[in-house]
Structures are given as C-alpha cells and as structure tokens.
C-alpha cells in the first residue's frame, strides 16, 4: 500500500493505490474526466496489465516488482510550445535519483532512463489535455523497473539486475516523487536554462560519434543539442546539423 507523501510540497498529497489496473495514465484521465483530480494527484498500481509506452508501444511489467504510476500536473504557467521543458524537468528528477544507485545512469533522448552497456530501466509517457487557452492537464506516466529480474526484451533491465540488490518499492516511490517535484518546481520558478543544461549534461551519447538510422539509411554523427521543440540535433560528419523528431530516427549504438 502506498501512502500520502508527507515530505513533498504538493505532489502525492492525494494518492490512489490500485492493486491492479490497465494503465495508470488511463486511470488518471478517468479521474480528470470525473473531476476527481487536481495538481499533484498520483495513481499508482501494483499490477499494470495494459501499460502504454512511447511510440504506441506497450509497457510490460511483472506484478509487484516495479514502479508504475502517473502524476497529474497542471502546467498552466507554460505555453504548450514549451512542453519539452516539462519532459526535461521530469527526466532530470528521475535520473538524479537513480544516479545515486548507478552513477552511469543517463537519459536517452527523449526520456528513457538507461544504463549504458546494461539497458533501459525506465521510461516516461506524458499525455496532455489542451484547451483553446493552452494547457489543462499533463499526465506524467512513469515506469521504472526495480526488482524484476527476467525480461522478454533483451534491451530491458532493472535496478536489481544491475546492482544485485532488491529494493523497497515504497521508499523508492517516495524518493522518486520528491525528486520529480524538485524538477517541476524549478520549472515553475522559471529556471529553464538550468533545466536544459542539466538535461544535456547527462544526455546519453551527447558529443560522441555514434551510429543512427533514418528513412535514408544508416549514418554517423554526434548529438549536439535539443531544439526548442524538443527535437534531437545531430551534427553530421560533413559538419552540417540535422534535426530529428521522435519517429524519424533510431539509435544503433
């Protein structure tokens, strides 16, 4: 059972714990529709059966082994064109916590939590409700593999697999929400440059010659930055820079 969080400013003062659900993001949308949600509401589930991932993928997780939850936010102070800053603020919070356990942990663009040479341990799916006036709600879905030891995908791993230890999910949930809140509060205080520079500092493969693939085929280049819209900027071997959206590029490293 996950309790209301005492050490945060506003996140997790209202925690909905579900032993089983399809997707915590979908449950969050249901609560919003029923007008039972407000900024900081969290939905956490022990056994998520139809979890959703980026790019229309599914997010598979074994019962009671991992963290799968959604945070409801109302970033009404931001223009929707700046939404990648929310992504960076959340990613920074997650990465900063897991770096305490695994110093090599990095964010792989846009928001995978990965450990180079081991694999992906977590991901974020942010789904939004916009109105004519701008942002209404952001549902920040976070999935982190903690104690699970077996995975179908060879690219997936967990904190336990890498460290050889098992972890208390409730304690990690509390710490993780605290870190995500810190990132979000920076956003609220307008510390945009700080958020971006932290994100870029720990971005996987930044400034490293790497292999990618796009619609035209494989190519080498190095990640040089992120555009205002959150697209990936890659400097090619000929010195030119190209910009890629989420579905336009695959990492081959």
Site residues (CB under 6 A) for ligand BTN?
23-25, 48, 51-54, 57, 59, 68-70, 112, 123-125, 141-143
Least distance to ligand BTN from the beta carbon of 146, Å? 12
- Our CB check for ligand BTN shows the closer of 36 and 209 to be 36
Take residue 49 and report the two structure tokens written for it: 């059966």
Could you count the other beta carbons within 10 Å of the beta carbon of residue 151? 17
What per-residue string of b and e applies to 220-247 under the rule 16 or more CB within 10 Å gives b?
ebbbebbeeebbbbbbeeeeeebebeee
**DSSP element (H, E) containing 89:** helix 84-98
- Our CB check for ligand BTN shows the closer of 57 and 253 to be 57
- Our CB check for ligand BTN shows the closer of 5 and 121 to be 121
Query: Which is it for strands 42-48 and 15-21: parallel, antiparallel or unpaired?
Result: parallel
Least distance to ligand BTN from the beta carbon of 24, Å? 4
Least distance to ligand BTN from the beta carbon of 176, Å? 12
Take residue 188 and report the two structure tokens written for it: 């609220």
User: By beta-carbon distance, which residue lies closest to ligand BTN?
Assistant: 123
- Our CB check for ligand BTN shows the closer of 38 and 108 to be 108
Q: Are 232 and 249 in contact (CB under 8 A)?
A: yes
Residue with tokens 């208390």: 168
Least distance to ligand BTN from the beta carbon of 123, Å? 2
Could you count the other beta carbons within 10 Å of the beta carbon of residue 10? 14
Least distance to ligand BTN from the beta carbon of 238, Å? 32
Short-list 227, 202, 224, CA closest to 93: 202
Take residue 193 and report the two structure tokens written for it: 């440059």
- Our CB check for ligand BTN shows the closer of 21 and 187 to be 21
- Our CB check for ligand BTN shows the closer of 110 and 221 to be 110
Least distance to ligand BTN from the beta carbon of 132, Å? 27
């Amino acid at each position: 059972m996950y309790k209301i969080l005492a050490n945060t400013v506003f996140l997790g003062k209202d925690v909905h714990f579900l032993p089983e659900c399809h997707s915590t993001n979908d449950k969050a949308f249901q609560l919003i529709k029923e007008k039972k949600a407000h900024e900081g509401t969290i939905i956490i589930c022990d056994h998520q059966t139809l979890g959703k991932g980026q790019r229309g993928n599914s997010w598979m997780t074994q019962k009671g082994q991992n963290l799968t939850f959604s945070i409801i936010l109302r970033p009404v102070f931001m223009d929707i064109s700046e939404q990648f800053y929310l992504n960076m603020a959340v990613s920074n919070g997650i990465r900063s916590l897991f770096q305490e356990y695994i110093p090599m942990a990095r964010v792989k663009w846009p928001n995978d939590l990965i450990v180079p040479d081991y694999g992906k341990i977590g991901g974020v799916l942010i789904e939004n409700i916009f109105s004519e006036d701008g942002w209404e709600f952001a549902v920040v879905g976070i999935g982190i593999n903690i104690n699970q030891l077996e995975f179908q995908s060879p690219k997936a791993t967990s904190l336990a697999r890498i460290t050889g230890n098992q972890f208390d999910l409730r304690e990690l949930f509390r710490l993780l929400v605290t870190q995500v809140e810190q990132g979000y509060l920076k956003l609220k205080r307008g510390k945009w440059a700080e958020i971006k520079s932290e994100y870029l500092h720990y971005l996987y493969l930044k400034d490293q010659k790497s292999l990618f693939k796009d619609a035209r085929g494989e190519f080498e280049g190095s990640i040089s930055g992120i555009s205002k819209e959150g697209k990936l900027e890659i400097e090619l071997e000929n010195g030119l820079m190209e910009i890629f959206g989420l579905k336009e590029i695959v990492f081959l490293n």
